[in-house]
Structure 1
Amino acid sequence: MTMAQLGRDPIMTQRRRELARWVNIEKSMLDDVDRFTAENRLDFAGGAVEVRQFSWSKPVESVWSTASHCYLLHLSLDGKGPPNIVTNLTSGRNAASSMGALALVPPGQALSCLSAAGSSRAIRCLLDARLLEGFLADLPEWHDGLLHEAFSLSGGQIEWLIRRMYRELSAPDFATEAMLATFAQQLAVEIVRKFELRSVADFRRGGMAPWRLQRLRDRLYAEDPLPDLAELAELCDMTVRHLARAFRTETGQTLGKYRETVMVERATPMLRQGLPVTEVAGRLGFSSSGGFRSAFRRATGLLPSEIKAAN
């Protein structure tokens, strides 16, 4: 069947309507965008892939969500793109983090994305969740730690496969649709390999006991100034060096990076509420607002004042 015949095929037409509901972007966001162009798009067995361009002259906040049967992969084709902060509205704590050049959004997520002024050219891939779930005995549990990692992937086989999809979409050849479906299957395997073994129930040799991880989370998210690494080590009855090594083995990220993530998660809602930057800095334990501004910008690419200005 040719591409023209596919466009007239009633089954494919119905499938496009279904795919359009897999990811929902709040319409108000498009009203704030200066330019939007959808370059290429192709639907295939197991999902769809699309290249799109945006540009905007002021900070833009959008709310978008994934359906219960859709994985969304978003890769910036021009580097990391404008700095942005993603707030997970599905989480009871409205957990926030920065989004990297390559991001994976699992099914059933609702996100608020605040982007600094700029432009972006990106490829977006939608995957049917059944491609992944067919490999798993149980549905994966996407807790905050995994989501933080998923929102900021880099390199590896997942990015390579997305870029192969981009090449196939940019220069279609014999059996392009079948090739994209094959890449989608490979993506499903790579996502399972990367994230399935890092479930909450998994406790690897050299990692941390669940009760210690829970103590860390409880202390970091308490309504007190952020603790330093020495306090966290004492809380877990470990040396700083042992704690740092065990935490990285268990979670795949450094304890310092995790503490920085928590800082952003706790600061963002306060800034959105309009609290002065000096007050937010004090609540988080910074000795000066300048130190807080530097830490926040280093973590997110945005100044605290830009969060307030967007509201």
Structure 2
Amino acid sequence: MERPTPVEMTVQAQVAVPIATAQVVQFTMIDPSDTVMQRRNGYWLDLCLTPRPLNTRACYREHWGPHRFERLGDMFLVPPGEAIHVRGDSAGLQSSIICELHADAINKWLGTEIDWNDRRLEASLDISSNTIRHLLRRLAEEARNPGLGSPMLVECIAGQLAIELGRYCEAVVDAPVSGGLAAWRLRIIDERLREVREPPTLGELAALCNISVRQLTRGFRASRGCSIGEYVVQSRIESAKRLLDRDESVKAIAYSIGFSSTSSFSYAFRRATGLTPRQFRQRVLQRMRH
């Protein structure tokens, strides 16, 4: 019988309004993570601030059975009432911004209840929207440093989050099912992007998938809801987060993942995370000391 490994969660900052609660949290995993999460009455939206455990993946057992685990991205959503099984291959500390959106209030905002079919559940494990990412970071800032009119601002941001999530899910459904890439092709692309070397060209990825560049770009957007370019940048940032946890210089990391200069790397990293590479490394080291 499987016994999921418990994960300790420490809340470092929090802000709450009637429709949502936003928290900056730190997860402590003594052993490789293996846990089941479920929220009965709320949407759980998680954006990691530090790298997730190696090879973090997730499974919706009630829909997929116990063996289908898909990659968990830096930002994911768990719908209300759904149980998600999360596994990772390493232990340690990991920090996230978490926003729990109350289901009744969100459904009222959207004017409908989201139908969580298989394609939407898979898409929820790796949300690529920069707008949603920015809104979560804004909530984290307000949780850490609340100011004048904070409750009203947080409620407005939470409402915007609900709308953006609804649009994200709607776009997943609107994408033609027949136009997406096969699962094996998506796995090949992810495996290539995880390699710490110069990012692949469209021609290289198309050759790996044995299709034309046009088929690749159209099929990828249908499957993942973003362009390959946007996905490559986000994958490079995730690789950088993992490397910044080590002793390599920022310059060496920039070149190893395909950036032409330290300044271009720092600009892309700050745009994606809100921190410079050095600030991110300092924050990781501070959390490890505590």
Return the TM-score normalized by structure 1: 0.55
**What is residue 38 of structure 2 aligned with on the other side?**
65
2:152 is the counterpart of 1:178: yes
CA separation of 1:246 and 1:61: change in aligned 2, threshold 3 A: same
**Native 8 Å contact 1:39 1:51 kept in 2:** yes
Stretches of structure 1 lacking an aligned partner (at least 5 in a row):
1-26, 218-228, 234-238, 257-311
In 1, Cα distance between the equivalents of 2:113 and 2:215? Answer: 30
In 1, Cα distance between the equivalents of 2:35 and 2:224? Answer: 29
In 1, Cα distance between the equivalents of 2:109 and 2:100? Answer: 18
Stretches of structure 2 lacking an aligned partner (at least 5 in a row):
184-205, 229-290
2:39 is the counterpart of 1:48: no
**What is residue 222 of structure 2 aligned with on the other side?**
250
Query: What RMSD, in angstroms, separates the aligned Cα atoms of the two structures?
Result: 3.5
In 1, Cα distance between the equivalents of 2:146 and 2:111? Answer: 36
Structure label with greater radius of gyration: 1
Q: Match of 1:153, as an amino acid?
A: I
Q: Percent identity?
A: 23
The offset of 1:28, in angstroms, is 6.3
2:98 is the counterpart of 1:124: yes
Equivalent residue runs for 1:144-293 within 5 Å:
144-154=118-128, 156-199=130-173, 202=174, 207=176, 209=178, 244=216, 247-252=219-224
2:72 is the counterpart of 1:99: yes
CA separation of 1:43 and 1:248: change in aligned 2, threshold 3 A: same
Q: Match of 2:31, as an amino acid?
A: K
The offset of 1:50, in angstroms, is 1.6
Q: Match of 2:53, as an amino acid?
A: P
In 2, Cα distance between the equivalents of 1:135 and 1:176? Answer: 20
**What is residue 115 of structure 2 aligned with on the other side?**
141
The offset of 1:98, in angstroms, is 1.8
In 2, Cα distance between the equivalents of 1:245 and 1:110? Answer: 33
Give CA deviations for 1:191-219 in whole Å, capped at 9, x if unaligned: 112221322xx36xxx455xx87xx68xx
**Native 8 Å contact 1:86 1:111 kept in 2:** yes
The offset of 1:29, in angstroms, is 4.0
What's the secondary structure of 2:220's corresponding residue?
A: helix
2:84 is the counterpart of 1:111: yes
What's the secondary structure of 1:49's corresponding residue?
A: strand
What's the secondary structure of 1:91's corresponding residue?
A: helix
CA separation of 1:101 and 1:252: change in aligned 2, threshold 3 A: closer
The offset of 1:65, in angstroms, is 0.9
2:53 is the counterpart of 1:82: yes
What's the secondary structure of 1:112's corresponding residue?
A: strand
In 2, Cα distance between the equivalents of 1:183 and 1:74? Answer: 15
Return the TM-score normalized by structure 2: 0.58
